[in-house]
Amino acid sequence: MAKRIEASNVTSYYGSFKAIDGISMTVEPKTITALIGPSGCGKSTFLRSVNRMHEVLPGARIEGRLTIDDQNIYDADVDVTAVRRMIGMVFQRPNPFPTMSIYENVVAGLKLNGAKKKSVLDDACENSLRSANLWDEVKDRLGRPGAGLSGGQQQRLCIARTIAVEPQVVLMDEPCSALDPISTLAIEDLMFKLKDRFTIIIVTHNMQQAARVSDKTGFFSIDKTGDPGRLIEYDDTQKIFSNPTEKKTEDYITGRFG
């Protein structure tokens, strides 16, 4: 089910500000790709342009091609909601719907798609929560508000909500940056498990995390503030962290970055 993503020469703007410039990369199915780099270098912008979430901000536009299994998601006749159903997203801060219970949060996407049958929703809820390693912790309180869980649990709830609609790609935008180390570990375990079913792209500030979880790593950087972000190097994670080709990558990895 998981699909290949190809970006060729993706350039994105917010109004007149060029956020990223000429990003080209190919993400293979059922792999984890980590995007690393200093703050403001366009990792998140690139990630959000993969499922067209960047369009939510006014004035955002994009140039270049972004294909998922050879379909350009920026073609004029593409339905943006279909893109987002196919490419799910987990955000930096856990964002369960505050007015909904745990159960309702997980099945929210299914309900949008027209699923009504209780038994189906129940099954889907349990499956997703199990996949998100959360079932045992919440199975007795599915009716309680999702916002009442701990931060790590909330983030896993959001992952469950995302995978409940069976996307093919899951984007994660610094999913652990608001979590403590133990919750972070739980999410990382989860990513390994999900790799069997989904293509995963994760933006992270934590280089150990990138080294631990990812198959491939892309390093983004900017020359100076106000310049667009560029993809400096994109290669196997092992190579990036042991023997990077680019001097800039090495500087960043070894902590010698400006």
Partner 1 sequence: MSLLQKELSDVVMTPSGLRSKRLPVAVNLVIAVAAIVVAAALVLGLSIGGWPLVAVVAGILYLVGLFVAATRVEGRRSARNKIMQALIYAACILAVLPLASVVWTLISKGAGRLDGNFFGSSMNNIGARDPLGGAYHAIIGTLEQVGLATLMAVPLGVLGAIYLVEYGRGRFALTVRFFVDVMTGIPSIVAGLFILAFWVLIVSPWFNNGTPRFSGFAASLALTVLMLPTIVRSTEEMLRLVPGPLREGAYALGVPQWKTILKIVLPTALPGIVTGVMLAVARAAGETAPVLLVAGGAAAINFDPFAGNQSSLALFVYQQAGDASRYAPDRAWTAALTLVALVLILTIAAKLLARRNRLS
Partner 2 sequence: MGDIPSRSATTPAGEPGVTGRHARPAGTGVSPNAPAGPSLGGGGALPTKKRFGMEAGFRGLSTAAGAMVLVIIVAIGFFLVSKAVPALQANTENFLTYKAWFPNDAEPNFGIAALAFGTVLSSVIALIVAVPIALGIALFLSHYAPKRLATPLGFVIDLLAAVPSVVFGLWGRDVFLNPVRDLSLWLNEYFSWIPIFGGDGPFGRSILLGSLVLSIMVLPIVTSLSREVFMQTPGMNEEAALALGATKWEMIRTAVVPYGKPGIIAAIMLGLGRALGETIALALTLGIVFNISFNLIENGGNSIAANIANTFGEANATGRGALIASGLVLFAITLVVNMAARAIIYRRREFRDSAA
Task: Please identify which residue in the block is written with the tokens 């503030």.
Answer: 225
Question: Shortest gap between Cβ of 23 and partner 2 (angstroms)?
Answer: 21
Q: What DSSP letter does each residue of 167-208 carry, written as one string?
A: -SEEEEESTTTTS-HHHHHHHHHHHHHHTTT-EEEEE-S-HH
Tokens of 191: 């990513």
Q: Does 115 bind partner 2 (CB under 8 A)?
A: no
- 122's CB contacts (< 8 A; 6+ apart) are none
Partner touching 23 among partner 2, partner 1, none, CB below 5 to 8 Å by kind: none
Q: Does 113 bind partner 1 (CB under 8 A)?
A: yes
Residues 4, 85, 197, 212: which binds partner 2 (CB under 8 A)?
Answer: 85
Q: Does 82 bind partner 1 (CB under 8 A)?
A: yes
Residue numbers 147-176 binding partner 2 by CB under 8 A: 147, 158, 161-162, 165
**32-40, 71-79, 99-107, 209-217 -> range binding partner 1 (CB under 8 A):** 71-79
DSSP state of 76: T
Q: Does 78 bind partner 1 (CB under 8 A)?
A: yes
Using CB under 8 A as the binding criterion, the count of chain residues that bind partner 1 stands at 27
Task: Tell me which residue of 24, 59, 18, 22 sits closest to 225, measured CA to CA.
Answer: 18
Q: Does 53 bind partner 1 (CB under 8 A)?
A: no
Residue numbers 33-52 binding partner 2 by CB under 8 A: 51
Q: Does 88 bind partner 2 (CB under 8 A)?
A: yes
CA–CA gap between residue 240 and residue 36 (Å, rounded): 11
Per the CB < 8 A criterion, the answer to whether 192 and 23 are in contact is no
